[in-house]
Amino acid sequence: MKYLDEYRDADLARQYARQIARITTRPWNIMEVCGGQTHAIVKFGLDELLPKDITLVHGPGCPVCVTPLELIDKALAIASRPEVIFCSFGDMLRVPGSTTDLLSVKARGGDVRIVYSPLDALKLAEQNPAREVVFFGVGFETTAPATAMAVFQAAKRGVKNFSMLVSHVLVPPAMVAVLSSPKCRIQAFLAAGHVCAVMGCEEYFPIAAKYHVPIVVTGFEPLDILQGVWMCVQQLESGRAEVENPYSRAVRREGNPTAQQLIREVFRVIPRKWRGIGEIAQSGLGLSDRYAGFDAERKFGVAGYHADEPSECLSGLVLQGQIKPHECPAFGTRCTPEHPLGAPMVSSEGACAAYYRYRREAAFT
């Protein structure tokens, strides 16, 4: 396939690996922030292709995975109401709450629907004026503009039976939280290309300068990722800590100003709790006061929910890059895609799901 196969060329991948090996003189730990990159790394065996001194660490780059347990419980409470049509991306249906998941609510008769866009949920609200339609807004900056557009259009059209359960999170504060941890061993980052396509690269410059870490904006195909690693190692070996953007076919330094303006119009930056990690300051998006009438937490009175994470699930350590998925004692035994303890085992971007799908046998030997 044109413009895809070119980025999966095995010979070029091996050449990149040899170049990385030639310039590597000491161990380096590089974190990829995006769960899509994690899946590509594990699926194509890129970490195994690299020299042993290069360790790729999987970070908190799966928005489904970091959605806190209490927010899942809020979704379950809202979706169980008979007057509600609850709309979500498909990944969220299998994410376990305290007692059940959205798929089970649907099986018991709840009107839970998978949609491909928040605007699909808005259309449902217009088609069903006697019902309350709620969209579960989950994602990083990548999906926030679409969520914002649905709220903006609902206000413009005067749709009163539409609301949002918002769980949007921001990448740069999560990177700062990782770097600020006393257990941090990360020396460079592969920044998520799709986030940067929206937000640009400006936010990363102060992070690179303050923590002296290279940050390379990276795509999602094997050659993209290997190029990102190569550029990180070049910087690390020379003592540099800069932001570089080799993913220029999709990312401009300024990002998408129109999308950014829409995000600023509809949302405000708030503290956000991350599943398995805890609260990170200024790391989330919530509806601004102007659009507070579309806040499902307020509309359905679930704002005060609190839930403790199950102690057996070590997803927080996985998401912070402190352990690999197969190092969790429950991996593949007590925790499987059919019976998950945490979101990283069921999300299409979850590190645990990637290891279970592509490396299950190796993990048990």
Instruction: Indicate which CATH number applies to the domain containing 11.
Output: 3.40.50.11750
13 shares its domain with 106: no
206 shares its domain with 262: no
164 shares its domain with 263: yes
**Least confident piece of the model among 48-52, 111-115, 229-233, 315-319:** 315-319
Burial 128-163 (b: 16+ CB within 10 A, else e): eeeebbbbbbbbbbbbbbebbbbbbbbbeeebebbb
229 shares its domain with 109: no
Q: Which helix (H) or strand (E) holds 110?
A: none
Q: How confident is the model at residue 363 (pLDDT cuts 50, 70, 90)?
A: very low
Q: Is residue 308 part of a domain?
A: no
Q: Is residue 94 part of a domain?
A: yes
Residue 21 pLDDT more than 60? Answer: yes
Q: Is residue 250 part of a domain?
A: no
Q: Is residue 275 part of a domain?
A: yes
Q: Is residue 334 part of a domain?
A: yes
159 shares its domain with 219: no
75 shares its domain with 207: no
pLDDT value of residue 180: 93
83 shares its domain with 157: yes
230 shares its domain with 177: yes
Question: Residue 260 sits in which domain range?
Answer: 66-170+255-299
Total domains, the chain: 3
pLDDT value of residue 2: 62
Q: What is the CATH number of the domain that holds 99?
A: 3.40.50.11740
Task: Give the domain-ending residue among 215, 244, 273.
Answer: 244
Under 8 Å between Cβ of 240 and 232: no
Residue 361 pLDDT more than 60? Answer: no
pLDDT value of residue 360: 59
Q: Is residue 39 part of a domain?
A: yes
Q: Is residue 304 part of a domain?
A: no
136 shares its domain with 223: no
Rounded average pLDDT over 214-240? 97
**What CA–CA distance (Å, rounded) separates 341 from 351?**
14
Q: Is residue 309 part of a domain?
A: no
At CB < 8 A and 24+ separation, what contacts does 149-153 make? 149/118, 149/119, 149/262, 150/117, 150/118, 150/119, 150/121, 150/122, 151/266, 151/287, 151/291, 151/294, 152/262, 152/265, 152/266, 152/291, 153/119, 153/122
104 shares its domain with 215: no
149 shares its domain with 73: yes
238 shares its domain with 259: no
